[in-house]
Homo-oligomer: A and B are copies of this chain.
């Protein structure tokens, strides 16, 4: 086996297990067994489980923004770009292993006294970066009122994600896209 492939195999196994069973419920031994590496190899790449968890969140964050930007690029105006974010959600919700947002799930497990600071930082940065992305789009699209609309759009994104996870209803993406459209039309017409 290629030495450099070990780290990747660990992260891929962790990604699947964390997604299916939750982060806390997934033991190191299980990750090691399923990735097929030796325990020493694991601890060579990740000094502790928390380092793997942080890496997991960094990767999820990266892919989240790749997806959002891929869809936003389909729109011509900032308003269109914003609306295409909901198509990104639709694509996400339809994935067979969709288990809700890793960061919202992460809040449950790591947003507490005593949790590893580098993990909490991953969560904080993810939420603030998502906010900034929407903020940047709306600042361009409706510069006078973007401060009002940003939390509304973020609520629609969050709400769709949680409800799609709780109920399995993929249509939430489309439903909230329409609400977003109405909000944007209303605040752009003025």
Contact = CB atoms under 8 A, between A and B. Distances in A.
Contacts of A167: 127, 131
Interface stretch (A27-35, A36-44, A67-75, A150-158): A150-158
A108 B111 contact: no
Contacts of A154: 159, 163
Given A154-B163, A162-B158, A112 B171 contact: no
A166 B99 contact: no
A116 B169 CA distance: 23
A54 to B, nearest CB: 18
Contacts of A157: 159
Contacts of A105: 107-108
Tell me which of A103, A166, A172, A176 has the highest count of chain B C-beta atoms within 10 A of its own C-beta: A166
A78 B111 CA distance: 37
B163 A151 contact: yes
Tell me which of A127, A162, A182 has the highest count of chain B C-beta atoms within 10 A of its own C-beta: A162
A176 B12 CA distance: 38
A113 interface: yes
B109 A25 contact: yes
Contacts of A109: 22, 24-25, 108-109
Nearest to A108: B105
B22 A25 contact: no
A53 interface: no
